[in-house]
């Protein structure tokens, strides 16, 4: 490829909305162009990287015995209504109507469609297992599309689905996919961890997320440096914490005028935040739920949703509070009663506390000297707090570490949730009808490209792992005006016959400094410079982007050396 022909319109001014590095560099290097929020054009450099990621995915997923298909993106509402997800997906789903008024969506995922498909054509145990996948655009009207390709509204996903006779079969498929995902992300050069996750709205049992560790990630990953424990913090049930304070003082109502946040109250009462109990009020489907955690803890909303089996979780509205007789800023369970549409759930660590402060259930009043186990009355007790950096590993007790992760993939044991809802059954050996046991497996292809940049860059630009670099090498003639330099650069470029599709010749009429800057920004793993040195000594300079290491070799040995360096980078997944 000649750099003068490359369609990569570079941006000098990066829009302020680009806050993460992958977004900035992809815009700057002319890899992507925004059309509207969360919807982008992939320009040639990005498209080449995406195709390389897809090729790795295809190779590894085909090895598991799965076959590639392509399903419709436009899907009828009916199949989504049958599983109940037409309602659950809410505003995140792009919906449309045809000319007859029939409703459709742009698929955010394909469980409904694949289950409908397999149901049509598979009826006997002899046809199982079935393992199918596709790579295509998905559509989610995300509340906050942001971070460029990391959270788009149109994005590329690889999604795979397996159908088995029984759970043992599913366990085998799951293991195959888990191992394939591990190989895929390793080959893409990512630093990642598979972590236990919550199965959330999609339903099912066991699930792992593949998290690329990076500060810009939106997930929190808790992992133990001493044992093999690793989980999304949403999926962790932390230990119940003891309370060092012992007290048999009776609870007392005190005035706290205007002190309506936990920090204000604790300040006012000279109490440590960890000796306070805070109230958060949710609406879980139709139920209002008062959740109580220690002042220095946060509620694990995913766990709360699971405990109540709710499809939708939201903060309670002012009307909800008024209806339940709750005074915002001053709420506690004391004197309240659970009903069919109002529940009180208290974190287990709160029940260990003594001499705590909490809301007084009237404006400008708080209770002090509260012993929740004694004073809270009839409440539901569950572990509903998030684990945090002060906690220990729930498995082995060693101090836990928490890091940010970018979810690049996820594998689920779905079980029979979708096959039952959509009647996807088979006849077993005894002629008895059974629901198929399903698994589903997703990879964010476009997000994986962004994650690779988040993990691997410097102040000058992208440092691609060689396997997914748009091009593997660039040849930079330092001075275009010098015909001998240009001729040498062309002859080297021509020498890369079999690798020619991986090499760029920067033939642009630009200063050497600009070419070097662009080479670093685009992140070619290897750069060859033909300039003054070559004229003086016959040597060209090879520079490795990742290490900054430079090597001088005679022009006629250059190709072989470059091939050796690239092979070495490939072998080390760097
Ligand atoms: P998230 O929690 O980040 O919203 P998700 O768990 O809803 O993602 P899945 O349904 O598991 O996503 O989709 C499979 C994969 O698709 C994810 O692991 C992620 O890599 C990718 N993905 C999901 N949503 C987006 C998005 N808005 N933009 C880009 N990639 C996405
Ligand atoms: Mg997911």
Q: How high is the pLDDT of residue 524? A: 98
Nearest CA to ligand 1 atom 8: 407
Classify 372 as helix, strand or coil.
helix
- Is-contact 128 426, C-beta < 8 A? yes
Please indicate whether residue 207, judged by its CB atom, sits closer than 6 Å to ligand 1. no
Cα 68 to averaged position of ligand 1 atoms, centre (Å): 20
Please indicate whether residue 442, judged by its CB atom, sits closer than 6 Å to ligand 1. yes
- Contacts of residue 118, Cβ cutoff 8 Å, sequence gap at least 6: 130, 132, 161, 163, 424, 436
- Closest atom, ligand 1, to C-alpha of 109: 10
263-270 average pLDDT score: 94
Query: Hey, how many other C-beta atoms are within 10 angstroms of the C-beta on 119?
Result: 18
Please indicate whether residue 265, judged by its CB atom, sits closer than 6 Å to ligand 1. no
- Contacts of residue 59, Cβ cutoff 8 Å, sequence gap at least 6: none
Q: What are the b/e assignments for 321-338, b being 16+ CB within 10 Å?
A: beebebbebbbbbbebeb
95-109, 199-213, 455-469: least confidently modelled range: 199-213
Tokens representing 80 are 């989504």
Cα 449 to averaged position of ligand 1 atoms, centre (Å): 13
57 vs 143 pLDDT, higher one: 57
Cα 407 to averaged position of ligand 1 atoms, centre (Å): 7
Please indicate whether residue 408, judged by its CB atom, sits closer than 6 Å to ligand 1. yes
Q: Report how far residue 481's alpha carbon sits from residue 40's, in angstroms, rounded to the nearest whole number.
A: 38
| 359 phi-psi bin (left φ>0, alpha ψ -120 to 50, beta other) | beta
Give percent of the chain above pLDDT 90. Answer: 93
Tokens representing 15 are 């829009």
Q: How high is the pLDDT of residue 204? A: 57
Probe ligand 1: pick from 111, 233, 444, 454, max atoms within 8 Å of CB? 444
Mode of pairing for the β-strands spanning 365-370 and 313-315:
unpaired
β-sheet bridge partners, residue 67: 132
**pLDDT tens digits, one per residue of 390-423:** 999 999 999 999 999 999 999 999 999 999 999 9
Q: State if pTM tops 0.85.
A: yes
Integer Rg of the chain from CA: 29
Please indicate whether residue 40, judged by its CB atom, sits closer than 6 Å to ligand 1. no
**pLDDT tens digits, one per residue of 491-534:** 999 999 878 899 999 999 999 999 999 999 999 999 999 998 89
- Closest atom, ligand 1, to C-alpha of 218: 3
Please indicate whether residue 447, judged by its CB atom, sits closer than 6 Å to ligand 1. yes
Distance of alpha carbon 152 from its chain centroid, rounded? 12
- pLDDT band for position 203 (50/70/90)? low
Nearest CA to ligand 1 atom 18: 409
Please indicate whether residue 444, judged by its CB atom, sits closer than 6 Å to ligand 1. yes
Report the mean per-residue pLDDT for the chain. Answer: 95
Q: Report how far residue 300's alpha carbon sits from residue 293's, in angstroms, rounded to the nearest whole number.
A: 10
The conformation of residue 392, written as its DSSP 8-state character, comes to: B
Q: How high is the pLDDT of residue 144? A: 86
Tokens representing 287 are 């139920």
- Contacts of residue 545, Cβ cutoff 8 Å, sequence gap at least 6: 463, 464, 519, 520, 523, 524, 525, 526, 527
- pLDDT band for position 84 (50/70/90)? very high
Which phi and psi (to 5°) does residue 35 adopt? Answer: -105, -55
Please indicate whether residue 295, judged by its CB atom, sits closer than 6 Å to ligand 1. no
200-204, 252-256, 434-438: least confidently modelled range: 200-204
Give percent of the chain above pLDDT 70. Answer: 99
User: Does pLDDT of 365 surpass 60?
Assistant: yes
Q: Report how far residue 569's alpha carbon sits from residue 574's, in angstroms, rounded to the nearest whole number.
A: 5
User: Does pLDDT of 439 surpass 50?
Assistant: yes
User: Does pLDDT of 202 surpass 70?
Assistant: no
Q: Is the peptide bond before 44 cis (omega within 30 degrees of 0)?
A: no
Q: Report how far residue 292's alpha carbon sits from residue 348's, in angstroms, rounded to the nearest whole number.
A: 10
Cα 409 to averaged position of ligand 2 atoms, centre (Å): 7
**pLDDT tens digits, one per residue of 300-346:** 999 999 999 998 899 999 999 999 999 999 999 999 999 999 999 99
User: Does pLDDT of 257 surpass 70?
Assistant: yes
């Amino acid at each position: 490829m000649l750099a003068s022909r490359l369609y990569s319109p570079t941006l000098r001014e990066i829009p302020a909305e680009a806050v993460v590095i992958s977004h900035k560099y992809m815009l700057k290097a002319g890899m992507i162009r925004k059309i509207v929020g969360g919807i982008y054009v992939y320009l040639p450099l990005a498209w080449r990287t995406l195709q390389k990621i897809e090729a790795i995915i295809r190779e590894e997923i085909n090895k598991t015995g799965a076959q590639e298909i392509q399903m419709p993106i436009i899907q009828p509402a009916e199949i989504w209504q049958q599983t109940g997800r037409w309602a659950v997906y809410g505003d995140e789903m792009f919906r449309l109507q045809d000319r007859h008024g029939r409703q459709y969506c742009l698929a955010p995922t394909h469980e409904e469609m694949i289950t409908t498909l397999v149901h049509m054509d598979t009826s006997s145990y002899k046809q199982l297992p079935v393992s199918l996948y596709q790579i295509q655009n998905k559509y989610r009207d995300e509340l906050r599309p942001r971070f460029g390709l990391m959270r788009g509204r149109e994005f590329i996903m690889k999604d795979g689905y397996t159908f088995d006779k029984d759970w043992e079969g599913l366990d085998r498929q799951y293991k195959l996919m888990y191992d394939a995902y591990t190989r895929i992300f390793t080959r893409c050069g990512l630093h990642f961890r598979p972590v236990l996750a919550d199965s959330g709205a999609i339903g099912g049992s066991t699930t792992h997320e593949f998290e690329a560790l990076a500060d810009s990630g939106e997930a929190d990953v808790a992992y133990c440096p001493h044992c093999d424990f690793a989980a999304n913090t949403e999926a962790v049930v932390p230990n119940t914490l003891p309370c060092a304070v012992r007290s048999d003082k009776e609870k007392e109502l005190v005035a706290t005028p205007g002190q309506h946040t936990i920090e204000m109250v604790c300040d006012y009462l000279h109490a440590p935040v960890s000796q306070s109990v805070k109230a958060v009020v949710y609406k879980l489907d139709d139920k209002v739920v008062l959740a109580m955690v220690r002042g220095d803890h946060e509620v694990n909303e995913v766990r709360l949703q699971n405990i109540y089996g709710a499809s939708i979780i939201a903060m309670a509205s002012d009307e909800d509070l008024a209806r339940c007789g709750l005074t915002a800023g001053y709420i506690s369970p004391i004197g309240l009663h659970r009903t069919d549409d109002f529940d009180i759930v208290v974190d287990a660590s709160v029940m260990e506390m003594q001499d705590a402060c909490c809301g007084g259930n009237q404006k400008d009043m708080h209770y002090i000297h509260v012993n929740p186990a004694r004073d809270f009355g009839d409440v539901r007790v569950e572990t509903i707090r998030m684990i945090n950096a002060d906690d220990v590993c729930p498995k082995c007790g060693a101090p836990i570490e928490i890091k940010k992760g970018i979810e690049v993939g996820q594998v689920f044991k779905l079980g029979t949730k979708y096959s039952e809802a959509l009647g996807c059954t088979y006849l077993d050996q005894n002629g008895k009808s059974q629901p198929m046991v399903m698994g589903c497996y997703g990879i964010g292809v476009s997000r994986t490209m962004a994650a690779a940049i988040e993990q691997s860059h410097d102040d000058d630009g992208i440092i691609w792992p060689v396997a997914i670099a748009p091009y593997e090498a660039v040849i930079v003639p330092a001075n275009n005006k010098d015909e001998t330099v240009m001729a040498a650069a062309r002859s080297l470029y021509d020498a890369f016959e079999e690798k020619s599709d991986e090499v760029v010749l920067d033939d642009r009429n630009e200063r050497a400094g600009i070419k070097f800057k662009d080479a670093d920004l685009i992140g070619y793993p290897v750069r060859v410079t033909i300039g003054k040195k070559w004229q003086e000594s016959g040597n060209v300079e090879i520079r490795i982007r990742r290490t900054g290491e430079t090597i001088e070799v005679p022009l006629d040995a250059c190709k072989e050396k470059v091939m050796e360096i690239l092979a070495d980078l490939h072998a080390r997944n760097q």
